[in-house]
Structure 1
Amino acid sequence: MLDADAFLQNLSSRIDGFMYSGLNNADYNMTYLSDGFERLLGYDVASFLRNGTSFSSLIHADDLPAVDAAVGAALSASARWQISYRVKTAGGRWKHVLETGGGRADAAGEIAYLDGIVIDFGRANDLADRIQSGQAALDAIDRASDQMIEMLRSLKMLSLNARIEAARSGEAGAGFGVVAKEMGQLAALGDDVTKAVGTELGHLKSALRL
């Protein structure tokens, strides 16, 4: 037979966040919090529940209206809500979290309780920031590649001019011919490298947009 408490404890230990059950009121008073609440935010679960601390008081003032609106709209539509917001830790820092929840009716059929899960959303934000930084770096490399292409075009023109001068000067222009050949080979090699870099940049940009 399944031990519900053991199941919840095991499930809670596997997520970077916490599960909750609380009252459907403006303070979002909690009646149950998994151990992950303390791991994520630093508050002692027993004390938090015993003191009847308002969970809404932990939500950033700029985010609370959006949270209230999301919960209210979901309850009106008999649906779940999902919203990210900032919540204050016991140490006074703000942590980004993502909450998914839904309403639960009492014996009279009224939506009296809210149940859900709150997870650490900071890691997702960090990943997004890294992707954005990576995109910026790729754009910078792309611009540098464009400049290299322009330089190679100039080098090709110089090589062509050197060949023309070598042809005009005959034996006296033999030195021009050697220089022109070397410049042409260098330009061709640089062109191949630049094209390869451009192809790889395209692949990386496509991957970052996924």
Structure 2
Amino acid sequence: MTSELHQIKRIFDSFQMPLSKEWLESCIEWCKQDNLPTNYSIKHLQNMIYEQWLLLDLRDVEIPSLPEGLNSEKKYTLTGVFYLQVLQVIDISKPKLWQIQRIRNKVGKNTEVEKDFGKRVLQLTLTDGVQEVEAMEFKAVACLNINSPPGTKLKIIGPVMVRNGRIMLEPAHVKVIKQSSQVISIFMLR
């Protein structure tokens, strides 16, 4: 393992971010080809790799981090730190018609869409790259919203309850890792 690869891997490991050696090697090679200045620093390389990780579909690298069979657990406490990817977000407190019309921007007059349906309850489909799990707001999580795009990365910090295979989300246990256009270095989130 090269010195750079070892240093970068150690940094990401310290944040409990699972990266495959193969992906990391190819990412470093890609960064070096045309995307880094000749006198780059490890910090610069690490930030570029982080930006690429934000764009990565975790299903492409298939590194499991969640306990196997989590979605079949009746009562479980998830401990540790997990980086998961959003596949889908639904507000289960609102009718499907409302959500479809909102997605298509076809909110018309005299429709029930304009009604206030009360508090929202977001249900998310998440993946660690291998296993898909459902997560649901147990308490409203301000950093999540119905418009969170697929691919958004979440940092789940245990202990978190899992009931009937669903991760029960609370504000203290969820951080949205910003997409590339709004990158905040993960190393500042520690």
TM-score with structure 1 setting the length: 0.24
Rg larger for: 1
TM-score with structure 2 setting the length: 0.26
Bigger share in helix: 1
Instruction: Kindly indicate whether structure 1 or structure 2 has the higher relative contact order, using CA contacts under 8 Å at least 6 residues apart.
Output: 2
